[in-house]
Amino acid sequence: MAVQSRSLTYEDLDRLRETRDERLELIEGELFVTPAPSLGHQDVSANSYSWLRRAIADSGRGRVYYAPVDVRLAERTIVQPDLVVVLSDRFEILTPARIEGAPSLVIEIVSPSTTAYDRVTKRGVYAKYGVPEYWLVDFEAWTVTVFSDPRDGRYQRETVYDDTAVSATIPGLFIDLADLFAMVTGF
């Protein structure tokens, strides 16, 4: 990554995207480049989207989006989570171009090259900007870590699941991890 001389904005990010074909995010004005996801990551993402679509969108509880979709948490913090849930009580943050504010639930799928970024950097950003719930899906370990109750820039609750993951903030939302990790490409 190149050294930056100043903190970047959303407009800077848009200009960079015109000339680069990479997944780019800004966190507190710093540019981050996320590598292309593995096939296993894609399998879990597809399974997650299908499950969330049935549980959230088809039931009329909210909307579900998958990467790449911009979530603008602040002028200098624009991320592209793997999956995003916006429940109907937060529809005002939806715009034609992006999500403008904290979604109801954000899911990141851990890849070997993004482990620290997802576990530390993004967790801190999501807590700081008030995302009520953050799921960290690790398909190699067959676990889902659910972070919730963001206060003072940190999640106060952390629960690791290895059988059935249960939402801490969305009533009735759960998934059997055998279904989530079904048919994950293991090469």
Is the pTM above the cut of 0.75? Answer: yes
On whether the CB atoms of residues 77 and 129 are closer than 8 A, the answer is: yes
Phi and psi torsions of 124, nearest 5°: -65, -40
Residue-wise pLDDT for 120-129, tens only, equals 999 999 999 9
Residue-wise pLDDT for 155-187, tens only, equals 999 999 999 999 999 999 999 999 999 888 665
Q: Quote the tokens at residue 122.
A: 């993004």
- Cα distances from 152 to residues 103, 125, 149, in angstroms, run 18, 12, 10
R_g (Cα) of the chain, nearest Å: 16
